[in-house]
Amino acid sequence: MRSITGTWALVRLGLRLDRVRLLVWVLAVLGVVVVFASAVGELYPDEASRRQLGGSVAADPAFGALLGPLQDPRSVGGLVTWRMSFFQMVLVPLMALQTVTRHTRAEEEAGRLDLVGSTVVGHRAPLTAALIVAFGACSLIGAFVAAGLTVQGEAVAGAVALGAVYAGTGAMFAAIAAVTAQLASTARGATGLAGAVLGVAFLIRAVADGAGDDGPTWLRWLSPVGWSTEVQPFAGERWWVLGVMLALVVVGTAVAYLLVERRDTGSGLLPARLGAPEAAPWLASPLALAWRLQRGTLLGWTVGMVAVGLVYGFVAESVSDLIDDVAGAAAMLERMGGAEVLVDAFIATTMGVLAVIVSIYTVSALLRARTEETDLRAEPVLATRVTRSAWLAGHVAIAVVGSAWLLAVAGAGEGLAHGLRIGDLGQAPRLAGAALAQTPAVLVVAGSTVAVFGWLPRLLGLAWGALGAFLLLGQLGPVLQLDQWALNLSPFTHAPQVPAEPVAALPILALLAVAVALGAFGVVGFRRRDIG
């Protein structure tokens, strides 16, 4: 018991430090799920209308890869399970792994854990406290989701199963983050490793679900994210799958406890690579420094986006097969211009998805400037002849160019896979260009992030909140039948649907103008406020 002495004191400290952050997460997930369930119940009151809603979207391989299979189109709970699956598969796990890393490896990296460890605190107490906080937040989300759906009249068994899925998926990646926190020597490295596991797991599940029931659905069992869909809430619950998820939590936690005994505080089991004794001449600029700090992250994102593009390109040609059995479909497609029209419409949809994913990189890359500032590494640089504008411009340039690069390689990957299937490798540059057409919308996200960083650096969660709002407007706006003015608040609404439609200059110029204005506004704020 000595090894966990002081755990509850650290739990109270963690809850105090994260009281606002975790509360926002819990209320955001609960609010979105409950509001969506209520809206679906009102707008689609009978089984026939719900089947029509689910069938019109679930047959799209892009949504299959993104959201997984629609297992029960008859009930509101079944539609909520499917449409909100991105929360359970990505967002809640992200919250959990970041929470564990923040209270373990980040505290060590900042040197605060040394001070805590010098008191009457066991060497396993910080890890135990971090896991309790993360498990508690995930459990709270699961309990509230179950209670919210039950209050709205959904089946109790399905609601409880869905809540358990939310809690279980988050807990699995909290345990995985506990392991990566022992491996990496930095918080960024630990988060990157855990995030890479999440990305690979999501990609494997996307491959399994992208081709529908005829695809390699057995791949779901190779992915912890895929296990969440195998529980099947509201579609004949498979409770034993929750036992598989619990087993991963137990094993991951046990491995983390074993590893924490085998390393020194402040170090990781994976050796840190030493830098050169002297900096290269090309590093003597803010832009080069920003590139040096972020090149590893960009490389990892490049690999991931190419993989995502390949998945989408692989299933693109299969879209036309979805309506082979529909009477008159062939003649209708012929009048519209052939099956290529349907395939291009699918590709245009995937381009919007790629833009949202790349926007996550954009925000995280820009927030690296805030990390440099709060860790007191920006002040020595700004004490030289480097101006604030030049320093911030370096980080903005890497984020902007990196975002365009990721869109291009993802589009090229999709075009390569699609071209190999149809025997036309010219699809690679064609779809790379189509993906680049989404860049102005991503730049609006970048501009809003710079604006928040410049004026409200302590409220940078607003940047993630804005991206989440854009995502929800795009995903749920049409389903909830929101007014067009509400949909227009998202920059992704105005991005050209290439290659399904030609590029229009006016929306692109308008998005670029908004992005530049927001960015300039942020730079002005950064020049006026105090550092730190």
Pick from 278, 347, 336, 308: nearest CA to 496:
347
Q: In the structure, what pLDDT confidence band is assigned to residue 57 with cuts at 50, 70 and 90?
A: low
Report phi then psi at 60, rounded to 5. Answer: -75, 120
- The per-residue DSSP string of 280-349 comes to -GGG-SHHHHHHHHHHHHHHHHHHHHHHHHHHHHHHHGGGGGGGTTSTTHHHHHHHHT-HHHHHHHHHHH
Residue-level pLDDT at 110: 80
Looking at this protein, which amino acid is placed at residue 159? A
Three-class SS string for 48-69?
A: HHHHHHHHHHHCCHHHHHHHCC
| 319-373: pLDDT as tens digits | 655 544 444 444 444 444 445 677 887 788 889 889 998 999 999 999 999 989 9
Residue-level pLDDT at 42: 79
- What is the dihedral angle through the alpha carbons of 335, 337, 338, 343, rounded to the nearest 10 degrees? -130
| 179-190: pLDDT as tens digits | 999 999 888 889
| 397-441: pLDDT as tens digits | 999 999 999 999 999 999 998 888 888 888 999 999 999 999 999
Q: How many other C-beta atoms can be found within 10 angstroms of the C-beta atom of residue 496?
A: 21
d(CA 347, CA 151): 39
Cβ-Cβ contacts under 8 Å for 432 (sequence gap 6 or more): 408, 409, 411, 412, 415
Q: In the structure, what pLDDT confidence band is assigned to residue 151 with cuts at 50, 70 and 90?
A: very high
Report phi then psi at 511, rounded to 5. Answer: -65, -40
pTM of the predicted model as reported, rounded to 2 decimal places: 0.80
Residue-level pLDDT at 338: 44
Residue-level pLDDT at 56: 57
Q: What is the mean pLDDT of residues 93-98?
A: 93
Residue-level pLDDT at 280: 77
Residue recorded with tokens 């855990």:
194
pLDDT at residue 316 greater than cutoff 70: yes
H/E element, 33: helix 19-43
Looking at this protein, which amino acid is placed at residue 401? V
Q: What is the mean pLDDT of residues 37-60?
A: 73
Q: In the structure, what pLDDT confidence band is assigned to residue 177 with cuts at 50, 70 and 90?
A: very high
Among residues of the chain, what percentage have pLDDT more than 70? 92
pLDDT at residue 55 greater than cutoff 60: yes
Residue-level pLDDT at 133: 96
| 453-490: pLDDT as tens digits | 999 998 888 898 888 888 878 767 776 677 888 888 99
Residue-level pLDDT at 328: 43
d(CA 192, CA 179): 12
Residue-level pLDDT at 165: 96
d(CA 19, CA 13): 10
Residue-level pLDDT at 528: 93
Residue-level pLDDT at 329: 41
Residue-level pLDDT at 517: 97
| 232-274: pLDDT as tens digits | 999 999 999 999 999 999 999 999 999 998 888 778 888 777 7
φ/ψ region of 481 (left if φ > 0, alpha if ψ in -120 to 50, else beta) reads left
Residue-level pLDDT at 159: 94
Lowest mean pLDDT among 3-17, 261-275, 498-512: 261-275
